[in-house]
Structures are given as structure tokens and as C-alpha cells.
Structure 1
Amino acid sequence: MKINELYQSIINDLKNGKRPLVKLNEQVLDDIYESYSQCLSQSDRELLMKVLCILDNTQTTTRRFEEFILKSFETFTDSEAIIFLLGTFQKQVAEARFKDGHRLEMSHLQLLERLLEHDDPEVVEWTLRIIESIGSQGLFFKKKIFAMKPNFFERFNKHRKAIFQIIEMLEKRWGH
């Protein structure tokens, strides 16, 4: 199945309220790998979004795309792309590593730390969601996270409200 066909199938399922979670075989993974490589070499944002959609809506986790995902954070810096990258990072980097018995590396933690300072509160929210999911490695961010708790008036923004709620949950978990 070609990338465009697979992407369209996922989009149709999502529009119909279905959770796609497709299984990818080696041939499809090879096709995605080739497409992802092309998208990075040509800075093709449209292709990136299709690839990320597929990788985020699959049952297949693989560390095969880890380097591409990390490089994408440098190449595609708009908020929408970063949010999609974070979803894919969670599944294809964090979950794939944990499934294989590996923790996130310092470079991964440093990337997440930089994203905590992003201007877009939605990027910060999704970064916090990943940090919340990485267990004890999240303690790396404890001081920074507790210092960034939104004030009362900022909580009227839905993403800042979510940030506040995630930080409160982490405070309870980590004992602040």
C-alpha cells in the first residue's frame, strides 16, 4: 500500500470515528522510511504530516524512525508540526524504547526540556503529557516544571488549564 493510500485510509477512519491503529509490515515500513527520508531531504512538510499521521496511528512501534523524528524537530519548527512530532515521538521513540527495555537518552530529555519553553501553550501541554508518561525520568524536569505553573488568569486558556492540571498531578506524584 502506498503512503498516500494508507494516509487517506487512516483519515477516513478518523473522520468516521474509528480508531485506525493499522499494522505495518516490513514492506510498508520500508516505504515509510523512504518517504520520511525524502521529506527530510526536501523539507516537505505535507509529506511529513502524512508520515507522522501513519506512524502515530499504527499498532507497530519501532525505533527505526527515531533519528528521523529527532531531526524533524530541527527542520520543522512550526507549532502544528511540533505537536504532531510529539505524538509520534511518544509512540515511536518513548514507547518503542520502553518496550525494548531502554530509557530515553539525555538528548531526548534535552529536547523535551527545550520544548517546555516553547511560546505555544499547546506545544508545552503535549510536552508535559510525554514527561508525565516517562515515569521516573520525568524527575529530570521537576524543578523546571514546578516553576512554570500558570497563574489563575492564564488558566482560562484551555491549554494553560491543561498545563496547570498536569503540573498539579505531577506535584502530587513527585511530592512537591
Structure 2
Amino acid sequence: MNENYQRIYLDTIEKLKNGQRPQIKLTPELLAELKQEWARALANGTDKVLQNETLKKILCILDNSQTTTSELNELFFKTLKEIKDHEMIVYALSASQKHVIADGLKNGTMISMEYFEILKNLLMSKNPEVKEWTLRTIETMGPLSLRLKKEVLAAKPGLMKIFNQHQKASSQLIDYLEKEWKRMLG
């Protein structure tokens, strides 16, 4: 049975509009289709509009899935390294919280050093929303967030944060992380 991710995406959007939680089950068939379409979208980097539309649908499905999987980690890493569209980076970070981080923590598997390197690079983004979502992603790592302590502290916004909601949120996230680190380290 071939699941059609386009149909699942439209169903997901409809449920979200109606205030429902989609809770998508990632069947082996759906996973295979998502993997294939995602790889195709990344390979077809010349048509950015088509690429972004495909990625948006796939990442929406993954963000609203009931189950987690590390099967797509390499595609997350490739996407976060190659894609320059800020909105797509935010979508990828959001879905990666569930599939890279939560799945790794749940199954006791080590989160790839490649992922930490990607997050370090994204912390230096000039885009305030990308920086905020990178910090949100790091915050979900619990004690593993300590690996990025130096980079997180270096990313703290200056006084201009009062004029930008994303910079303000970033500042609050960094303050929260500092308190958590003090608590963790006793």
C-alpha cells in the first residue's frame, strides 16, 4: 500500500486548522516515501520553490508524527547544512527535535557530533528566528546542551533585543539554559 504523503499533509493541515492533533503513524511505507521524496528534493536544488514546497510538507508530517525515528537523521543533517531558506531551517529544526533528539534520548543512542556542529553553525546565524529556534532545539537536549554552553553564551543578543521578538526570546532561552546548567552542575 503506497501512502501518499501529499494526501497526509493536506489531512494534517486540515486537522491543525480544526484544533486537532494529527498524530501521524510513520508506517514503513510512509517512511520510505518520505525518504525518497526528501532525497529527491535535496538533489533537485535548482528549483527552490518546488524544493521548499516538498520539504515543508515532509517536515510538517514529521513534526506531527506520533512516533519518532532516527532513520531520517542523515536527511535532517544534509537539509540543515545545505538549505539557506530561513523558514525551512526553522521547520527542519522543529522536526529534528522530535526525530534526532527525542528519539536518541528515548532509545539511548548517541546524538551525532555532526548534529552538534550543525547547531553550532546555526547559532551564528544572522537571522534572529533561526538563532531562536536553534536555542529552542538545544534547550530540548537536557544535559547534552552543556556541550554547546560556550557557543550558546556567545550567541546572547545585545541591547537591541528589546526591538526584536526573536532576539528577546533568544535572550530568555539563554537565561533559562544558564539556570538549568547551574542546577545540573550543582
TM-aligned CA deviation for residue 7 of structure 1: 0.5
Give the distance between the partners of 1:76 and 1:149, measured in 2 at CA. Answer: 24
Aligned to 2:48: none
The answer to whether the 8 A contact 2:76-2:92 is kept is: yes
User: Secondary structure at the residue paired with 2:71?
Assistant: helix
Aligned to 1:63: 70
Q: Deviations over 1:58-115 (max 9, x none)?
A: 0121111111111112332110010011011111111111121013122111110000
Residues 155/27 of structure 1: CA separation in 2 closer, same or farther (3 Å cut): same
SS of the residue 2:66 aligns to:
coil
Q: What residue identity is the alignment partner of 2:80?
A: F
Hey, what's the Cα distance between the residues in 2 that align with 1:49 and 1:2? Answer: 15
Counterparts of 2:172 and 2:105, CA distance in 1: 25
**Count of aligned residue pairs for this structure pair:** 176
Taking the TM superposition and a 5 Å limit, the aligned residue runs for 1:128-167 are: 128-167=135-174
* Cα distance in 1 between the residues matched to 2:54 and 2:150: 37
Give the TM-score, by structure 1 length.
0.93
The aligned amino acid for 1:85 is A
**Residues 21-100 of structure 1 aligned to structure 2 (within 5 Å):** 21-43=23-45, 44-100=51-107
Amino acid in the other structure paired with 1:38: R
Change (3 A) 1:24 1:148: closer
Task: Give the % identical residues.
Answer: 39
Contact kept in structure 2, 1:45 and 1:76, CA below 8 Å: no
Distance 1:65 1:162, change over 3 A: same
Q: Give the letter aligned to residue 56 of structure 2.
A: M
The runs of at least 4 aligned residues of structure 1 exceeding 3 Å deviation read none
- Letter of the 1:72 counterpart: T
5 Å-filtered alignment, 1:8-23, equals 8-23=10-25
Counterparts of 1:50 and 1:75, CA distance in 2: 18
State the TM-score, normalized to the length of structure 2.
Answer: 0.88
Q: Which amino acid aligns with 2:40?
A: Q
Distance 1:148 1:77 in 2: 19
Gaps of 5+ in 2: 46-50
Give the stretch that moved more between structures: 36-45 or 164-173.
36-45
Shift of residue 147, structure 1, vs aligned partner: 3.0
> Would you say 1:170 and 2:157 are equivalent positions?
no
